Structure 1
């Protein structure tokens, strides 16, 4: 139904310059006396700033990691106007133009930490924006000032446990719940430790430091308490501080139409198998306005880019209209993340990644959803329902969403081990290494233009083992049969991080996998692989079958429908699995069902009811999206 298809906002794609990973800021080393490795530049800056301002180095490193993962973005601001590895913010008058009184003052103060840092350090604001060492000093000075404002000591001898209130203050949050959530993140990072190459190729290492912070310090902050989910209408983890902004369930128009979701009683009316990661293709206020319009689409949650603040709109037991596939809607929860897919890192902030991961872990535990890339999926993995809808399916969150980091935050890292050989018959998991993986992408800003380089989450697949070979074809996206393209929205020739495939051939550094019924080649050298063999199950056509159809939904057979409920035709997609091909299993235990919900009142026995079928399906990895196959058509086998 058209009213259930997502309506896109216009793409206002403005890509910001991002430095290519691994490029050192210095020249080539001299033969006689090589300069210090780039890692010492950042390491020395954090060490020196911590000593100068009396901040425990572990606190400074962990705060910076929580804000930016130690990246400096070469002077480009985040969506909330934050600069450098310490995310020092500079006031943007447009951000406060619509506010007034105390609200405007508070908002303005939270957006000018860069100027506070300038006052504390005597450093020029321009240097704090663009110079990494200056920025780190500014962040250290801020932390020390927050510590003093709480009447607490600074200095080399202070324990990291005594800095909880200062860390919570650094969040510049609107209430104590959000401030505590940020501080808890920082201390979790500190306890685990971290090591990473920054976007300028500098190695930073933070040893694990487990402490028990004095959380009572947060009560000293001059902030409102905030609403905890346990005492509100939202379904969120306690540390997230969500708000309830309900999507309307109401009739409108003259034809008995209604919007913008369907009441249900999940899991009794259909178990929840997936959490779908979207980006909004619009700014948060416009999106919040959209979800409150009964004539438009809906989703369960919206998350703001600048700080990860979250609103819930639809209860998890009800069915939101977000995926463009009714079967997936029936079995999923949708989370919209403020941002524009062609701009990527500009919008996908560390705060948003971390809060999104908190929410997903909570929802997965509550609804028994496996935390893996077959069940925590992008909107770009949702299949078309029938052949005619395939080309119009969505591609968010797009090529710049960091699936590797996101799955790490979820505690389910993408498989990246070399225990098994990559050979024909193996299942391989794609893990190209996000930070160093800068692929050519086009048309982010305008037609026939190359996008500003930034890290991507995929590898391209080619028709033969040659860097100059054309990209593989996707007859669903390109029905005329043209080759795949590098267009930012063209997912048809990409293998994204965490996706799984079965190896068809191996030739030197090149690996061919079964992809959309054909072979796709990508380079994966043994010393620097992009694909890792893993155990698992695969589907193969039953003996004697020359091809097997694939489907975009697992609807019941005609005999399952009771009187009064029209049969929903089971229509295969335009793809097929040929004899000798194999595809990894994503889930063997999906429901064959159809949730009938077409009227507002929902009168049983023919409306707001689940039709269950006996014809079994399996979810499989198929090309760049998931798909379904009938169990009667395939055999299940362990991968070689």
Structure 2
């Protein structure tokens, strides 16, 4: 049954439909369709006029049309490129035929468990399931408004019309007097909980109002409109999730397998046994149904949560007290929660607002639960997790990729990333403008071919202060000593929004930061913000200090029944005179878990202390005894 939405209860009346035969058009409550007169509106309000015109044409409340579009795309055009779930334009009309699929995970050979003592032996990844019909809405919109699908992908005016026509059709087919069920259906979710969660977020946005400038310079405003939809209480009793979001329980199996093997995660007792220090952000490189199949396969690997693109639906798979196999570094796995996001790091180039919002709520909830700071030293991308030893660096993954909007994500969590340091501080936070910062990456579709021009949080670093200088070298990724490239998957010379670095030099409008033992240069055009914090440098008398990918204990700390895990340095140089941002001070730990029976698991804690630093694109660890910690001034 449709649920009452009292503040926008719109009764149908007879009228002649415009341009679209056979489509029932509904009247609007007074004041909800105040279109801006074309002759009075400036050019940067064309999109606002398009929303108003489409709302009037198809009988959709303008506030509803704006709210749905904001939750899908934030009203952006995204240069005509698809979202990570094949959606195009402000209304996120989906066209899988054009967007296709792709995977970056095939490029690496990462062991997701990341433990020398017991590697996860993965079966071949099965062929992905066909995506659901909800990922081909552009065909239906095309038929409704008489425009071809290519036009709907590339023309924002027609894209908005197509979305409005779909909403009107859904409202008519639900048979209700309100718009709640039509909005829920627009999400594309197959389950009721996910669809209603999306609708709730849309109507919350309508109630609060929002205004912003889009990625192509259009000013759009959704005025706050009092609404009071009848909401059903979300049942999160079987999951660890924030209230008022839809959270499914889709358990990953903890199962004994032949040949003394088991999968697909490890039982633990966090935070009693070990403190949870990190939340790791991933993308699935596949669609929702495929991810659900994989995480329920006991011979595969695991992660704690998945978030769906279309509506922000959350599924929890592993209790957060247990250790999932997701980050490729056992030390990080043992001290983190992993969240996968439906989508692709490069094939599609933007993530939906519905996904960002639900994910931000989940991360905020987990950060409060485990006392995790909301900063980029603790909320990491998979691409920020270091290789464990030299041989594993090259195989580490690089999701969620350079098109994940970290600044917006942290704004949604109420923890903006812009620095608060004094002007001239030697410690800076990377804060480029996401929309206008468009590095010329290659390989999103085809190796070596330019990616579509697209906003990014990544800042490319060069070896000298000029645009033609080579990129930096990452000896871990390229042991032959060759320079990094502009391939979208190559993170060897790239800083990311929210990360903090120490200024090494400034010259002629360029700034250099210490990065992997080198000076990395970028043109400083509002690319950084000054930051407060602490910095790390070698102790006097030490020419260099070793850098590690994990913070394991000294040999003496291991009991007789637990094999000693070697502390092997990474192939980088941290020299005297260089300084790096401090992210955390940590004790040394190793979680020995190689048997199905958790009674045999042991947490080994040593006396060695480590300091986490922002060393390159990835974090790293140095021994506290090797370094000095200083204020950044």
Q: Give the TM interval when normalised to the shorter protein.
A: 0.7 to 0.9
Q: Are residues 1:598 and 2:598 paired?
A: no
Residue 510 of structure 1, CA deviation = 0.3
> 1:468 and 1:94 mapped to 2: Cα distance?
33
Greater shift in the superposed pair: 282-291 or 39-48: 282-291
C-alpha contact 2:138 2:149 (8 A) present in aligned 1: no
Structure 1 residues 96-116: Cα deviation after superposition (integer angstroms, max 9, x where no partner) = xxxxxxxxxxx7589648636
> 1:110 and 1:535 mapped to 2: Cα distance?
45
Change (3 A) 1:422 1:495: farther
Residue 473 of structure 1, CA deviation = 1.0
Q: Are residues 1:625 and 2:618 paired?
A: yes
1:335 aligned residue: 339
1:352 aligned residue: 355
> 1:108 and 1:553 mapped to 2: Cα distance?
44
1:25 aligned residue: none
TM-score computed with the length of structure 2 as normaliser = 0.81
Change (3 A) 1:296 1:576: same
> 1:495 and 1:82 mapped to 2: Cα distance?
28
Residue 92 of structure 1, CA deviation = 7.7
SS of corresponding position for 1:335 = strand
Query: 1:142-157 maps to which residues of 2 (within 5 A)?
Result: 143=167
> Aligned residues, how many?
564
Residue 48 of structure 1, CA deviation = 3.4
RMSD of aligned C-alpha atoms?
3.2
> 2:299 and 2:174 mapped to 1: Cα distance?
50
Change (3 A) 1:420 1:295: same
> 1:546 and 1:532 mapped to 2: Cα distance?
30
Query: 1:136-535 maps to which residues of 2 (within 5 A)?
Result: 136-140=160-164, 143=167, 164=180, 167-199=183-215, 201-206=216-221, 209=224, 211=226, 213-216=227-230, 228-230=235-237, 232=238, 234-254=239-259, 256-345=260-349, 348-415=351-418, 420-422=422-424, 426-525=426-525, 529-535=526-532
> 2:184 and 2:301 mapped to 1: Cα distance?
36
1:131 aligned residue: 155
C-alpha contact 2:197 2:311 (8 A) present in aligned 1: no
C-alpha contact 1:615 1:630 (8 A) present in aligned 2: yes
C-alpha contact 2:79 2:453 (8 A) present in aligned 1: no
> 2:81 and 2:581 mapped to 1: Cα distance?
41
C-alpha contact 1:378 1:397 (8 A) present in aligned 2: yes
Greater shift in the superposed pair: 590-599 or 286-295: 286-295
Residue 82 of structure 1, CA deviation = 4.1
> 1:635 and 1:135 mapped to 2: Cα distance?
57
Q: Which runs of 5+ in 2 are unaligned?
A: 1-38, 101-131
> 1:540 and 1:352 mapped to 2: Cα distance?
39
C-alpha contact 1:90 1:115 (8 A) present in aligned 2: no
C-alpha contact 1:387 1:572 (8 A) present in aligned 2: yes
> 1:305 and 1:291 mapped to 2: Cα distance?
17
Residue 494 of structure 1, CA deviation = 0.3
SS of corresponding position for 1:277 = strand
Structure 1 residues 135-168: Cα deviation after superposition (integer angstroms, max 9, x where no partner) = 3344445556666777877xxxxxxxx8655544
Greater shift in the superposed pair: 448-457 or 545-554: 448-457
Residue 354 of structure 1, CA deviation = 2.4
Residue 361 of structure 1, CA deviation = 2.0
Change (3 A) 1:450 1:550: same
Change (3 A) 1:40 1:478: same
2:45 aligned residue: 40
C-alpha contact 2:324 2:337 (8 A) present in aligned 1: yes
C-alpha contact 2:141 2:165 (8 A) present in aligned 1: no
> 2:75 and 2:284 mapped to 1: Cα distance?
26
2:555 aligned residue: 558
Structure 1 residues 382-404: Cα deviation after superposition (integer angstroms, max 9, x where no partner) = 11112222222221112222222
Structure 1 residues 246-299: Cα deviation after superposition (integer angstroms, max 9, x where no partner) = 222222232x12222111111112111111111223333333333233333221
Greater shift in the superposed pair: 378-387 or 122-131: 122-131
> 1:307 and 1:53 mapped to 2: Cα distance?
23
Change (3 A) 1:509 1:311: same
> 1:493 and 1:126 mapped to 2: Cα distance?
36
> 1:518 and 1:497 mapped to 2: Cα distance?
19
Q: Which runs of 5+ in 1 are unaligned?
A: 1-33, 96-106, 154-161, 220-224
Residue 198 of structure 1, CA deviation = 2.7
Residue 518 of structure 1, CA deviation = 1.7
Residue 331 of structure 1, CA deviation = 0.2
Residue 460 of structure 1, CA deviation = 1.0
> 1:94 and 1:585 mapped to 2: Cα distance?
41
Change (3 A) 1:94 1:494: closer
Residue 320 of structure 1, CA deviation = 1.0
> 2:303 and 2:141 mapped to 1: Cα distance?
39
Structure 1 residues 5-44: Cα deviation after superposition (integer angstroms, max 9, x where no partner) = xxxxxxxxxxxxxxxxxxxxxxxxxxxxx99754121122
> 1:80 and 1:627 mapped to 2: Cα distance?
33
C-alpha contact 2:431 2:528 (8 A) present in aligned 1: yes
> 2:150 and 2:392 mapped to 1: Cα distance?
50
Greater shift in the superposed pair: 257-266 or 40-49: 40-49
Structure 1 residues 534-582: Cα deviation after superposition (integer angstroms, max 9, x where no partner) = 1111112222222222211111222322232222222222223211111
Residue 520 of structure 1, CA deviation = 0.8
